[in-house]
């Protein structure tokens, strides 16, 4: 996060001190560190210079002291030079920017009370509008917030400076309470509106630490369906999405899914119908996605694409929410697999029991037939034996011979 402080003559020493206190209190409410929020400051009047870089302070106490040491130096207002310096040096890796970390936002907050009246000598005499456009189109993905103080600010210039109109805060004066309100509003905006804009058809890779969070905003044309395909190569992530909520989370979301690299299917696919014309959805043709890291290291790939919906979907009622086709994630796949395996085991056991029963019946039938044959054989043997025995019987009758003498 880099603050661009207006140090022009119209600000004055007293108001500069209030502006500095605002930045100090803002920084004091953040978690400061090399792996947390880093803060830098650029000051500008008729030229721009670096107060300190993102890498200058890695702890909160010296950071607060560094902010208190910032000194006022009046002059003209050259906002273009400050934006040019922001682009050249502010968010460079050698000065502490973490450009390759998907979960890290590059945020600039421009604080000014007037209209830029000088072009940038640093960027070939470019105007504020030119340098602001260069910042928005840079590969650093810088989100620019703007705070305009007093009625002397140029609204069109602030619209050119800020990434979105909703990123602009107007203050009527430099009063401490007014700055306090702005600080709270800006903190809310940073927590809810700091998203990385993506084209509807995009492909990117990211890495998150445990508890790390990254937010994306995808523009979806009306009557089109957005498909999100996310795969995890290491760790586990939780994805939340919404067509209404700027900061979808576990409590507020339209759809969510978790993806684990150790699962059978380490990918998930979500399709969102963007044709809803409900009162809330119609205000923004965007899908907001939050990805949270759940393990110590979480590497993921996100691929998005759009496809035109069939004609019959174009007649959706105005009050109906967007269609969400939930993916069959790895947990559901695991549950279905378990059910199929259990059914297969039950069928196999039933077939086995049936075969065993059939074999037992066959064996019993064979044994019964053998036993029956044995009984029939014994009976026949007795009938054959009795006639034989009777034929061998002899009756003995004594024979007397007549004595012829």
Q: What is the per-residue pLDDT across 348-383, written as a single tens digit (0 to 9) for each?
A: 888 989 888 988 888 888 888 887 777 766 555 555
Alpha-carbon distance 244 to 284, whole Å? 8
Alpha-carbon distance 179 to 25, whole Å? 10
Q: How far is CA 356 from the centre of its chain?
A: 54
Alpha-carbon distance 113 to 111, whole Å? 7
Residue 133 sits at φ, ψ, to 5 deg, of -65, -40
Taking alpha carbons only, the member of 24, 5, 37 closest to residue 67 is 24
pTM over 0.85: no
Alpha-carbon distance 294 to 44, whole Å? 42
Q: Mapping DSSP to helix (H, G, I), strand (E, B) and coil, where does residue 4 land?
A: strand
Give the list of residues 6+ apart from residue 148 with CB closer than 8 angstroms, or none.
112, 113, 155, 158, 168, 169, 170, 171
Task: HSE, CB side, 13 Å, CA atoms: give it for residue 112.
Answer: 33
pLDDT in tens, 253-272: 788 899 999 988 899 888 77
Average pLDDT, the chain: 78
Evaluate whether 240 touches 249 at the Cβ level (below 8 Å): yes
DSSP 297: E
- DSSP states of 21-81 as a string? HHHHHHHHTS-BSTTSB--EEEEESSSEEEEE-TTT--SHHHHHHHHHT---------HHH
Label residues 287-321 b or e (16+ Cβ within 10 Å = b): bbbbbbbbbeebbbebbbebeebeeeeeebeeeee
DSSP 126: B
Residue 354 sits at φ, ψ, to 5 deg, of -65, -45
∠ Cα 6 12 13 (to 5°): 100
Evaluate whether 20 touches 28 at the Cβ level (below 8 Å): no
Q: Mapping DSSP to helix (H, G, I), strand (E, B) and coil, where does residue 153 land?
A: coil
pLDDT value at residue 232:
94
Quick count: other Cβ atoms within 10 Å of Cβ 186? 19
Helix H or strand E encompassing 177: helix 176-193
Structure tokens at 331: 């947990």
Q: pLDDT truncated to tens, each residue of the chain (405 aa)?
A: 999 999 988 888 888 998 898 899 888 888 888 888 899 999 999 999 999 999 999 999 999 999 999 999 888 889 999 999 999 999 888 888 887 665 567 889 999 887 888 888 888 889 999 999 999 888 777 888 888 888 778 888 999 999 888 788 888 777 766 666 665 665 555 554 456 777 777 888 888 888 777 888 887 777 777 888 899 999 999 998 887 666 677 767 788 899 999 988 899 888 776 443 332 333 347 788 889 889 989 999 999 887 776 654 444 443 333 444 344 444 445 555 667 788 888 988 889 898 889 888 888 888 888 877 777 665 555 555 555 545 455 555 555 555 544
Q: What domains can be seen in the chain, in order of their start residue? A: 2-194 (3.40.50.410), 197-334 (2.60.120.380)
Evaluate whether 315 touches 223 at the Cβ level (below 8 Å): no
Alpha-carbon distance 369 to 6, whole Å? 111
């Amino acid at each position: 996060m880099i603050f661009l402080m207006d140090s022009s003559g119209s600000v004055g020493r007293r108001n500069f001190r209030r502006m500095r206190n605002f930045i100090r209190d803002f920084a004091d409410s953040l978690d400061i560190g090399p792996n947390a929020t880093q803060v830098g400051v650029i000051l500008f009047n008729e030229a721009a210079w670096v107060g300190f870089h993102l890498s200058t302070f890695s702890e909160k106490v010296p950071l607060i002291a560094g902010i208190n040491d910032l000194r006022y130096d009046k002059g003209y207002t050259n906002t273009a030079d400050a934006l040019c310096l922001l682009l050249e040096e502010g968010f460079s890796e050698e000065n502490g920017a973490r450009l390759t970390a998907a979960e890290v936002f590059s945020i600039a907050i421009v604080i000014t009370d007037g209209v830029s009246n000088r072009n940038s000598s640093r960027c070939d005499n470019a105007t504020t509008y030119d340098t602001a456009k260069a910042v928005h189109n840079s590969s650093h993905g810088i989100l620019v917030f703007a705070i305009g103080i007093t009625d002397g600010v140029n609204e069109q210039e602030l619209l050119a400076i800020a990434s979105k109109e909703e990123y602009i805060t107007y203050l009527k004066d430099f009063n401490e309470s007014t700055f306090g309100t702005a600080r709270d509003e800006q903190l809310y905006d940073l927590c809810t509106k700091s998203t990385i804009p993506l084209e509807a058809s995009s492909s990117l890779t990211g890495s998150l630490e445990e508890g790390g969070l990254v937010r994306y905003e995808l523009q979806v044309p009306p009557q089109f369906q957005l498909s999100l395909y996310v795969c995890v190569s290491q760790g586990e992530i939780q994805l939340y999405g919404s067509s209404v909520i700027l900061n979808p989370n576990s409590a507020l979301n339209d759809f969510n899914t978790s993806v684990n690299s150790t699962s059978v299917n380490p990918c998930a696919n979500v399709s969102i119908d963007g044709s809803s014309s409900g009162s809330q959805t119609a205000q923004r043709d965007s899908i907001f996605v939050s990805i949270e890291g759940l393990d110590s290291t979480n590497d993921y790939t996100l691929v998005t694409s759009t496809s035109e919906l069939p004609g019959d979907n174009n007649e959706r009622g105005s009050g109906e929410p967007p269609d969400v086709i939930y993916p069959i994630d790895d947990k559901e796949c695991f549950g279905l697999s378990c059910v199929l395996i259990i059914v297969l085991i039950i069928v196999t056991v039933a077939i086995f029991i049936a075969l065993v029963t059939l074999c037992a019946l066959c064996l019993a039938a064979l044994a019964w037939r053998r036993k029956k044959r044995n009984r029939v054989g014994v009976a026949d043997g007795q009938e054959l034996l009795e006639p034989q025995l009777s034929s061998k019987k002899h009756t003995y009758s004594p024979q007397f011979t007549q004595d012829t003498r």
